[in-house]
Amino acid sequence: MKLYFAQTMNSYKTCAVARYLDLDVEFQRVDLQEGEQRSVAFLAINPNGKTPALVDGELRLWESNAIICYLAMKANSDLWPRDEKQIDIIKWFNWSTDHFCRFAGDLYFEHIIRPQFGLGDPDPGVVETATGYVRRYGRILDDHLAQRRYLLGDLLTVADFAVATTLPYAQEAKIPLDEFPAMRRWHDRLMELPAWQSPFTNVHDAASSSAT
């Protein structure tokens, strides 16, 4: 398998899951600033021109949540359980995409991506709106986690990796994580996993030694 990634929040969770599962995956970095995501070769893998993307034999798979589920299935891991808990995971995927990570992702874009790509200063209106929604949905997440170790109770699943994907960037993106003690404890617990703490370990060496 070859996992195409950039050092961004959606690739963070896919690389972390691949490393957590200790799968035989070749990590291939895509240089977004050089426009490698728009190359003919990469668009043949993901016509959206975005990372991450996964190649496994004839399979071409894009969308980060689909990739992490596939990796867990490939490893026969309980990160993707084989029962009705799958529905709960899909619920958290959708909630995160539509609510929490949608607005936390806006803060990530305004405070991290804009300066990285020379797109100007953060938009104060976007920042104010996004911060308000992050606080609104953060309270829901914090309440849910108050008596739980993980989103599905005591079971670590791909849902945790998906919903937490903006939180490693909380300080730089000005995501108010410290306002939510249960969420902070949950993310600190994830940070105890070496794969989550350092999903991009050694990727520069791997990227420089292989072709896109």
pLDDT in tens, 72-83: 999 999 999 999
Residue 185's nearest CA partner among 207, 205, 167 is: 167
55 by DSSP, 3-state: which? strand
Question: Edge-to-edge, what's the strand order for the sheet holding 53-56?
Answer: 26-29, 2-5, 53-56, 59-62
Distance CA 212, CA 200 (A): 17
pLDDT bracket for residue 122 (50, 70, 90): very high
Q: Which amino acid is at 36?
A: E
Domains of the chain from N-terminus onward: 2-79+196-208 (3.40.30.10), 85-193 (1.20.1050.10)
Is 56's pLDDT higher than 50?
yes
Decide: residue 147, CB within 10 A, 0-12 exposed, 13-18 middle, 19+ buried.
exposed
How confident is the model at residue 35, as a pLDDT? 86
